[in-house]
Structure formats: C-alpha cells, structure tokens
Amino acid sequence: MALWGGRFTQAADQRFKQFNDSLRFDYRLAEQDIVGSVAWSKALVTVGVSECR
C-alpha cells in the first residue's frame, strides 16, 4: 500500500508511480552524480568559464 493511499480521493497518476518507483535506483546513483558534478565544476574553473569563491 502506498503512503498516500488514504489522503486522496483519486488514484495516483501512473507517471507519478513510475517516478516514485525509480527513487530507489536514483539514490544509488547520487554519489556518482555528486562526484561528476564536482569534477565538472573544477573543469569549468580550470578553463576560466567559472570561478571558485
């Protein structure tokens, strides 16, 4: 049973269910996403597109 089952009168949209079901997978990717973002921002600083404050 979904946590939101008792709060709403209509069933959840299927797109919401698909999005919500993917969160477990997304959490597994979070660390790699952060590492990639940090590396990308360092690269932008290196080429002068951005600056570090």
Give pLDDT, residue 2.
60
- Its pTM stands at 0.55
Q: Once rounded to an integer, what is the mean pLDDT over residues 21-43?
A: 92
Query: Among 13, 37, 33, which residue's Cα sits nearest to residue 25?
Result: 33
37 pLDDT above the threshold of 90: yes
Q: Once rounded to an integer, what is the mean pLDDT over residues 17-30?
A: 86
